[in-house]
């Protein structure tokens, strides 16, 4: 829970509550003309990006052509998933027109008058669309400069009447296309592990999906906060598209951070904690962050998080990736236990994978 007071007697919880109950979001603050950001957005120094190292080449996430020979694609994706945990794909099955349509529809929602958006502002993710600022607003040390529209797509279909009409149809089409692409990618990732290609599909990993669209407007003091703190994703796979405002999404690469460039028509893919554990550390779930936006145009992104619908199912390393030379690194666990632990902590980069490690004494 956010500390009630700071050393100067600042009542953080009261300020956070007042902001949350106003339902104006970060965009509302920007529209009001603020030139300084509220104190509860001030991130601790460890969350802020340091100075960029001089004379060091710029690091970027690989872009993979999905129309290449299957064996080439499997190897390139396996290599990227095993090292950086992130890659972009082009020449995939999702039309660029659909990507543009869904991102434009979402941008249109975020830029509606505050009075309109207020009807969607709540923190109950199961009710159609949930618009809010930071799902961990009350738990985190500091808030991040973004607004979010979240729609839980499956296993239960959303109440579409409770989804903003300017992005409703595009989200329906996007969901179908994202599932088709994720099925292809899960097959490729399984093949890269030597596991039956439809194993993740059989384990219900296409059947629980959440769409989260983030809106990052210009921040008047971008050196004091971030758009999204460094974290790993808890699920199996994340499929993301972003608009043309690039240079903000970054992936941890050793001691440095690699940029995820805004490539027109590309889809960004990253491995989540669940798949890292099921691959027995063959694939890597890597920390990533979004910097606060210093420019006038807003960055808009849309991520689909793929999780198993079988909450009571037991998950752990695939038998095919375990051997005498490489024994299981993780114990088995239920998804219900796993996701419950995720939501009881703040989004702060501490991965849950360590909790389920066999050599972890606290698990």
Comparison of pLDDT for 161 and 51, the residue scoring more: 161
For the segment 62-82, the average pLDDT, to the nearest whole number, is: 97
Residue 235 neighbours by CB under 8 Å, 6+ apart: 272, 273, 274, 275, 305, 306, 307
d(C-alpha 254, C-alpha 63), whole Å: 19
Q: Are 96 and 263 in contact, with CB atoms under 8 Å apart?
A: no
Give the 3-state secondary structure of residue 277: helix
What pLDDT is attached to residue 339? 86
d(C-alpha 88, C-alpha 265), whole Å: 10
d(C-alpha 335, C-alpha 134), whole Å: 23
Residue 93 reports pLDDT greater than 90: yes
The H-or-E segment that residue 185 falls in is helix 165-193
What pLDDT is attached to residue 178? 98
* Banded pLDDT at 361 (limits 50, 70, 90): low
What pLDDT is attached to residue 362? 52
Task: Give the DSSP per-residue string, 75-122.
Answer: HHHHHHHHHTSEEEEES-SS-HHHHHHHHHHHHHHHTS-HHHHGGGB-
End-to-end alpha-carbon separation of the chain, Å?
A: 23
Q: Are 357 and 317 in contact, with CB atoms under 8 Å apart?
A: no
What pLDDT is attached to residue 8? 52
C-alpha torsion 286→287→293→299, nearest 10: 40
Dihedrals phi, psi of 77, to nearest 5 degrees:
-70, -40
What pLDDT is attached to residue 1? 46
Q: Are 144 and 29 in contact, with CB atoms under 8 Å apart?
A: no
What pLDDT is attached to residue 350? 53
* Banded pLDDT at 341 (limits 50, 70, 90): confident
What pLDDT is attached to residue 360? 62
d(C-alpha 344, C-alpha 340), whole Å: 6
What pLDDT is attached to residue 5? 42
Residue 2 reports pLDDT greater than 60: no
* Banded pLDDT at 126 (limits 50, 70, 90): confident
Secondary structure of 114-168 in HEC code, one letter for each residue: HHHHHHHECCCCCCCEEEECCCCCCCCCCCCCCEEEEEEEECCCCCHHHCCHHHH
What pLDDT is attached to residue 7? 45
What pLDDT is attached to residue 4? 42
What pLDDT is attached to residue 54? 67
Q: What is the pLDDT of residues 196-245, one digit of tens each?
A: 999 999 999 999 999 999 999 999 999 999 999 999 999 999 999 999 99
Global pTM reads 0.93
């Amino acid at each position: 829970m956010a500390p009630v007071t700071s050393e100067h007697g600042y009542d953080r919880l009261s300020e956070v509550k007042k902001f949350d109950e106003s339902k104006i979001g970060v965009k509302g603050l920007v529209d009001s003309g603020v030139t300084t950001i509220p104190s509860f957005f001030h991130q601790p120094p460890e969350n802020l990006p340091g100075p960029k190292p001089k004379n060091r080449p710029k690091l970027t996430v690989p872009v993979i052509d999905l129309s290449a020979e299957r064996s080439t694609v499997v190897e390139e994706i396996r290599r990227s998933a095993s090292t950086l945990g992130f890659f972009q794909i082009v020449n995939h099955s999702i039309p660029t027109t659909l990507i543009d349509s869904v991102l434009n529809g979402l941008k249109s929602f975020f830029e509606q008058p505050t009075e309109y958006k207020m009807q969607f502002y709540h923190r109950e993710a199961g009710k159609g669309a949930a618009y809010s600022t930071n799902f961990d607003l009350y738990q985190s040390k500091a808030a991040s400069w973004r607004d979010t529209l979240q729609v839980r797509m499956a296993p239960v279909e959303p109440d579409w009447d409770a989804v903003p009409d300017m992005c409703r149809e595009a989200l329906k089409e996007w969901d179908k296309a994202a599932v088709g692409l994720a099925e292809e990618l899960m097959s490729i990732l399984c093949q890269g592990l030597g596991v039956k290609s439809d194993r993740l599909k059989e384990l219900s990993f296409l059947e629980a999906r959440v769409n989260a669209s983030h809106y990052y407007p210009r921040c008047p003091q971008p050196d004091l906060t971030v758009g999204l703190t460094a974290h790993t994703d808890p699920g199996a796979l994340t499929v993301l598209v972003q608009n043309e405002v690039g240079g903000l999404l970054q992936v941890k690469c050793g001691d440095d951070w690699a940029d995820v460039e805004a490539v027109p028509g590309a889809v960004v893919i990253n491995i989540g904690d669940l798949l890292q554990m099921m691959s027995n550390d063959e694939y890597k779930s890597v920390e990533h962050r979004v910097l606060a936006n210093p420019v006038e145009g807003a960055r808009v992104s849309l991520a689909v998080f793929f999780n198993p619908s079988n909450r009571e199912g037991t998950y752990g390393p695939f038998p095919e990736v375990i051997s005498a030379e490489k024994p299981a690194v993780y114990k088995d666990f239920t998804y219900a236990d796993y996701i419950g632990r995720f939501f009881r902590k703040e989004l702060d980069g501490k991965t849950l994978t360590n909790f389920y490690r066999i050599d972890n004494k606290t698990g």
